């Protein structure tokens, strides 16, 4: 993953030369303070083409809204900043950008959001070329987007561009030719045409992802990676970036020039302040009245449920993610499926959700979230999954140790996770289970979120969670563990690849479910590579006076919220 550089050199003068500005001053502010979806560490990036994590995407979707948008309550695709038509053969998507949407930036000297102006003094409008720029940049091998591979198979020429080897002697010429061959065409300033590779209900969901939003190409070409810094960034959504104090907080401010659409209204809230806090300090701040929205630490859930006032403010619903441990398949001993099965069978998932996470999570034995389209339900396939079975776990490990002439104390892996009290508590529980059942001492290591994302592919075992980008099992099995993706745990299995490819092309849900179930059996059992642990519950607590939607997609749309009683 490419990381944004921390940049302190003032570039305001340069931007002022580039941009002429129109001004609206905010008054009578409604300010929402939240820690939701952030965590204790800095947001890795605000660049749509390189983002691959929940905190980054949460902010990006508010400042760079999509062509299509995934409704956060009903989890259905609907119009975003464009009206879309699809050709009769289902392969050509034509997007007509809604009128009146302009690029803006926040000016700290005037404390106002200002329009970016063209040289002739007119506001710079959002254009089809801005979307084409982002999509090509996401696919460009020079950018090395973590999500380029997700977009690539769906657009004509996308895979050819995204898969180019940068060390080829003819790379420069090949890259330019591949860019020209991608099926994305600017018809006019407001009209974009995209040619899909295949007919699928998932295509619209792909175009509802952050990797296809518009970005200011003229600014990126001028400034490079630092274009996302608050003194530089320009945006077009219902909110703009007011400030970003790295490692502490980020503030979004209402964009007064946002015209609103049927699905992305004009915000009622003037500012949203995101505090970067772990669960315990988040909830402490909530109870102190410093946050109006907080995620909930597991230790507080029994007290919340016992308190009528807090219980009325608490919301829990089925989540959007699967929590799992990945095992490095390129490293001894996890290159042997017996060892991974032993580690997986030694984990008492029910004890973890009952005694550690406490929010009503469902123990997971299969990878995919059960609510996804074409997802096999684990209750239908319990005969093929690895469940908690200490006797089986010990037998699998002993078989391996005997064959290799080793003892358990010769295995001493490290479990990596990102900073979080909850991840720490789960890791400590797993550590104790592995020690008790397998006699193996596992070292625990916590890292800052961005560092963890970059280094987990070199870990022995790592904590991970997959939260859906679009609600289909393809986004789990193909997009995460197909060998072309180069999974973080170095999993590669030709049979698994073939099954996921066939499932993506199958015509009926029944066929797809059966194929994904076979793929899951390989991933979690026969060529074991991961240990699913639980399916998330989405829970949070909201102060009285905040009117909101409850999201089922892992991110919020704050333009639909309000603060009353002010």
> Using one digit for the tens of pLDDT, what is the confidence trace for 366-403?
999 998 889 999 999 999 999 999 999 999 999 999 99
**N residues, the chain:** 566
**What per-residue confidence (pLDDT) applies to 89?**
92
> What is the number of domains present in the chain?
2
Percent of the chain scored above 70 by pLDDT?
A: 95
Q: 1: buried, middle or exposed (CB in 10 Å: 19+, 13-18, 0-12)?
A: middle
pLDDT (tens digit per residue) in 298-338: 889 999 999 999 999 999 888 889 999 999 999 999 999 99
235 and 323 in a single domain? The answer is: no
**What per-residue confidence (pLDDT) applies to 509?**
87
**What per-residue confidence (pLDDT) applies to 367?**
97
Confidence of residue 17 (pLDDT cuts 50, 70, 90): very low
**Domain's final residue, options 206, 241, 276:** 241
Domain at 116, CATH number: 3.90.76.10
Residue 359 clears pLDDT 90, i.e. is over it: no
Q: What is the pTM of this model?
A: 0.81
Residue 18 clears pLDDT 50, i.e. is over it: no
Residue 34 clears pLDDT 80, i.e. is over it: yes
Exposure class string for 132-147: b at 16+ Cβ within 10 A, else e = bbbbbbbbbbebebbb
**What per-residue confidence (pLDDT) applies to 28?**
73
- 3-state SS class at 175: helix
User: How many helices (H) and strands (E) would you count in the chain?
Assistant: 19, 22
- Looking at residues 162-167, what average pLDDT do you find? 88
230 and 353 in a single domain? The answer is: no
Pairing mode of beta strands 104-107, 191-195:
unpaired
**What per-residue confidence (pLDDT) applies to 506?**
83
**What per-residue confidence (pLDDT) applies to 2?**
27
**What per-residue confidence (pLDDT) applies to 23?**
36
In a domain, 37, yes or no: no
User: Where is pLDDT greater, at 420 or 234?
Assistant: 234
Positive/negative CA dihedral, 281, 282, 283, 288: positive
CB contact at 8 A, 556 and 274: no
**What per-residue confidence (pLDDT) applies to 519?**
97
485 and 367 in a single domain? The answer is: yes
**Domain's final residue, options 192, 215, 241:** 241
Confidence of residue 565 (pLDDT cuts 50, 70, 90): low
Rounded Cα gap, residues 197 and 184, in angstroms: 12
Sequence-ordered list of residues with C-beta below 8 angstroms from that of 456, at least 6 positions apart, any chain = 326, 416, 462, 464, 488
Residue 557 clears pLDDT 80, i.e. is over it: yes
In a domain, 211, yes or no: yes
Q: Quick one: tokens of 146?
A: 């973590």
Q: Quick one: tokens of 476?
A: 């789990």
- Helix 474-481 to helix 509-521 angle (10° resolution) is 40
**What per-residue confidence (pLDDT) applies to 566?**
57
Residue 476 clears pLDDT 70, i.e. is over it: yes
Residue 22 clears pLDDT 50, i.e. is over it: no
Nearest C-alpha neighbor of 268 from the set 61, 562, 557, 546: 562
Which residue has tokens 């390129």? 330
In a domain, 363, yes or no: yes
**What per-residue confidence (pLDDT) applies to 338?**
98
**What per-residue confidence (pLDDT) applies to 5?**
28
Rounded Cα gap, residues 388 and 86, in angstroms: 48
85 and 207 in a single domain? The answer is: yes
- Give residue 540's Cα distance to chain centre: 19
337 and 234 in a single domain? The answer is: no
DSSP label at 472?
A: B
Residue 59 clears pLDDT 70, i.e. is over it: yes
| Phi, psi dihedrals of residue 455, rounded to the nearest 5° | -110, -5
The CA-CA-CA angle for residues 311, 312, 317, to 5°, reads: 75
Least confident of 212-216, 251-255, 465-469: 465-469
Residue 39 clears pLDDT 80, i.e. is over it: yes
85 and 192 in a single domain? The answer is: yes
pLDDT (tens digit per residue) in 131-153: 999 999 999 999 999 899 889 99
In a domain, 451, yes or no: yes
Rounded Cα gap, residues 554 and 37, in angstroms: 8
Percent of the chain scored above 90 by pLDDT?
A: 78
347 and 487 in a single domain? The answer is: yes
Q: 191: buried, middle or exposed (CB in 10 Å: 19+, 13-18, 0-12)?
A: middle
In a domain, 482, yes or no: yes
In a domain, 508, yes or no: yes
Confidence of residue 16 (pLDDT cuts 50, 70, 90): very low
**Three-class HEC string of 269-301:** CCEEEEECCCHHHHHHHHHCCCCCEECCCHHHH
Domain at 468, CATH number: 3.10.105.10
Residue 166 clears pLDDT 90, i.e. is over it: no
- Looking at residues 530-554, what average pLDDT do you find? 92
Averaged pLDDT score across all residues of the chain: 91
| Structural domain of 126 | 12-27+44-241
236 and 326 in a single domain? The answer is: no
Residue 528 clears pLDDT 80, i.e. is over it: yes
Residue 240 clears pLDDT 80, i.e. is over it: yes
Residue 26 clears pLDDT 50, i.e. is over it: no
Compute the chain's Rg from CA coordinates: 24
Confidence of residue 19 (pLDDT cuts 50, 70, 90): very low
237 and 323 in a single domain? The answer is: no
Residue 102 clears pLDDT 60, i.e. is over it: yes
356 and 212 in a single domain? The answer is: no
In a domain, 199, yes or no: yes
**Domain's final residue, options 177, 206, 241:** 241
Nearest C-alpha neighbor of 213 from the set 343, 77, 90, 51: 51
In a domain, 196, yes or no: yes
């Amino acid at each position: 993953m490419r990381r944004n550089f921390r940049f302190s050199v003032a570039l305001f003068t340069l931007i002022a030369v580039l941009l002429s500005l129109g001004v609206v001053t905010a008054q009578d502010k409604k300010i929402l303070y939240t820690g939701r979806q952030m965590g204790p560490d800095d947001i890795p990036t605000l660049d749509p083409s390189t983002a691959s994590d929940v905190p980054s995407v949460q902010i990006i979707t508010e400042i760079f809204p999509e062509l299509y948008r995934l409704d956060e309550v009903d989890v259905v695709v609907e119009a975003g900043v464009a009206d879309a038509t699809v050709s009769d053969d289902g392969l050509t998507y034509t997007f007509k950008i809604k009128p009146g949407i302009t690029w803006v930036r926040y000016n700290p000297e005037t404390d106002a959001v200002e329009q970016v102006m063209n040289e002739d003094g007119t506001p710079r409008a959002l254009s089809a070329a801005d979307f084409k720029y982002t999509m090509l940049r996401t696919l460009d091998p020079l950018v090395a987007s973590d999500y380029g591979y997700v977009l690539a198979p769906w657009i004509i020429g996308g895979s050819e561009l995204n898969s180019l080897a940068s060390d080829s002697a003819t790379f420069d010429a090949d890259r330019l030719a591949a860019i020209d061959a991608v099926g994305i065409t600017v018809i006019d300033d407001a009209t974009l045409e995209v040619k899909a590779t295949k007919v699928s209900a998932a295509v619209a969901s792909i175009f509802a992802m952050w990797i296809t939003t518009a970005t200011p190409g003229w600014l990126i070409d001028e400034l490079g990676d630092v274009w996302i810094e608050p003194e530089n960034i320009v945006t077009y959504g219902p909110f703009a970036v007011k400030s970003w104090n790295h490692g502490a907080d980020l503030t979004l401010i209402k964009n007064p020039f946002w015209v609103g659409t049927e699905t992305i209204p004009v915000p009622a809230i003037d500012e949203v302040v995101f505090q970067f806090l772990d669960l315990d300090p988040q909830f402490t701040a909530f109870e102190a009245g410093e946050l109006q929205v907080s995620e909930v630490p597991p230790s507080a859930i029994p007290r919340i449920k016992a308190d009528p006032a807090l219980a009325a403010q608490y919301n829990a619903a089925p989540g959007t993610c699967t929590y799992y441990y990945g095992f490095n398949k390129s490293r001894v001993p996890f290159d042997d499926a017996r060892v991974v099965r032993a580690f997986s069978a030694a984990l008492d998932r029910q004890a973890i959700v009952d005694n550690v996470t406490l929010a009503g999570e469902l123990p997971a034995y299969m990878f995919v979230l059960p609510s996804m389209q074409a997802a096999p339900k684990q209750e239908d396939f319990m005969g093929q999954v690895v469940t908690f079975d200490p006797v089986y776990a010990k037998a699998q490990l002993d078989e391996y140790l005997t064959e290799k002439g080793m003892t358990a104390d010769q295995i001493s892996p490290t479990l990596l996770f990102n900073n979080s009290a909850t991840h720490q508590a789960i890791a400590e529980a797993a550590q104790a289970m592995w020690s008790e059942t397998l006699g193996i001492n596992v070292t625990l290591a916590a890292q800052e979120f961005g560092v963890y994302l970059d280094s987990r592919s070199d870990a022995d075992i790592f904590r991970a969670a997959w939260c859906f980008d679009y609600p289909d099992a393809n986004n789990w099995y193909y997009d995460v563990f197909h060998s072309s993706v180069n999974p973080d745990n170095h999993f590669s299995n030709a049979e698994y690849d073939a099954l996921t490819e066939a499932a993506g092309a199958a015509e009926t849900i029944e066929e797809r479910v059966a194929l994904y179930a076979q793929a899951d059996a390989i991933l979690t059992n026969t060529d074991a590579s991961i240990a699913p642990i639980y399916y998330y519950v989405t829970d949070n607590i909201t102060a009285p006076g905040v009117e909101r939607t409850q999201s089922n997609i892992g991110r919020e749309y704050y333009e639909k919220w309000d603060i009353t009683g002010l």
